[in-house]
Structure 1
Amino acid sequence: MTLKHFFEVYPPKLMWRKMWIGLADLPMMPQHRAKCLKMAGVNIKGRAMIYGGVGVDTVYPDSIYIGKGVRITAGTKILTHYLDPSQPGVHFRRGEVHIEDDVFIGLNVCICSSVTIGKGAIIGAGSVVTKDILPYQVWAGNPARYIKDRAK
């Protein structure tokens, strides 16, 4: 493989993102992990706590928006692209994930592309989020379903 071909296959921006996402997998304080993910392109507003094993989409991390005071617990996966079943063959589409201020995301949650999680929402452990969640709601399950409203 020539150097030119290497950089065509692995553009520097992609390598930069993968490096910072890889560093975020190392043992560290949750606030430092948020800084690593920010360097990878994730849009983080204010202070967020992101615990170990959180995986973000390495293709489009810049399509992830995380608000102030967000807590994302271990094992959560955030996806920003998805397979479009309306297209023949394998055709991926890009979407955005918006996690607004003061959201708590439980252990091993999967957040699928093109969703917004409203301010103050709580997502229960093991949930698969495929729909928008309104502010101050509690959701859980696979797929995630509305449980109740919470105090504001």
Structure 2
Amino acid sequence: MMKMITIKLYNKWINFKLRFWDVMQKEKCITGNSTNLFLEAKIENLCKNKEKIRIGDNCKIRGELLVYPHGGEILIGNDCYIGEMTKIWSARQIKIGNRVLIAHNVNIHDSNDHPLDKNERHNHYLEIITSGHPKIIDTLREAPIVIEDDVWIGFNAIILKGVRIGVGAIIGAGAIVKKDVAPYTVVVGNQNNIKSL
């Protein structure tokens, strides 16, 4: 009897914690109906504008969504899944269509995140650790990313700036995508191995 009461109390605590976290994370973005931000989810809206991270209906988010203070926008369609430890970081714009499945530990970045010049990179690092992310950066290379409807991205994949992934494409586990992917193709490895579905 006591064990059953303990289990019920524990379950109530977990449910409360999940609801609280969901509400706290949703303060930093706009979400559609029936969208959940799980305990592993992290919304880093460094520009403090909720409009810059928009998530559609019926999405399940377990990864990290980050927009920089100097720019960036993340737009996620309906019925999408973002897996644990996935990082979607935007300095320009990342647009994800409907019914997109993104596995765990995927990295999607629309910029270099740091300047290429060693001195600028060091100064950028110092500014981040002393004052936080800068509001103006003109030394980053940025280009938008578009991931169209019905794409599946396997675990540990890396999607780099400026690419468009076509409708229904599959990005295999561990793949590195640095150029556009045609609709209904499969990418494995470093994008030298592309097959039609």
Distance 1:25 1:123 in 2: 24
Aligned residues between the structures:
126
**Which of these two proteins has the greater Rg computed from alpha carbons?**
2
> In the alignment, what sits opposite 1:136?
184
CA displacement at 1:44 relative to structure 2: 1.1
CA displacement at 1:147 relative to structure 2: 2.8
- CA 1:88/1:50 → structure 2, altered by over 3 Å: closer, same or farther? closer
Amino acid in the other structure paired with 1:149: S
Amino acid in the other structure paired with 1:64: I
CA displacement at 1:56 relative to structure 2: 1.2
**8 A Cα contact 1:78 1:112, kept in partner:** yes
Question: 1:8-54 deviations in whole A, cap 9, x for unaligned?
Answer: xxxxxxxx9xx66xxx67337x93317x8499941012221111111
Structure 2 runs not aligned, ≥5 long: 1-24, 30-36, 42-57, 121-138
Question: 1:39-72 deviations in whole A, cap 9, x for unaligned?
Answer: 9941012221111111011x52x61100011000
**8 A Cα contact 2:66 2:88, kept in partner:** no
Over the aligned positions, Cα root-mean-square deviation in angstroms equals: 3.4
Structure 1 runs not aligned, ≥5 long: 1-15
1:48 pairs with one of 71, 80, 105: 80
**8 A Cα contact 2:65 2:87, kept in partner:** no
Distance 1:32 1:127 in 2: 23
Amino acid in the other structure paired with 1:69: R
CA displacement at 1:89 relative to structure 2: 6.1
* 2:61 is equivalent to residue 33 of structure 1: yes
TM-score for the superposition, normalised by structure 2? 0.54
**8 A Cα contact 1:137 1:146, kept in partner:** no
Distance 2:110 2:66 in 1: 15
Distance 2:196 2:183 in 1: 9
**8 A Cα contact 1:51 1:73, kept in partner:** yes
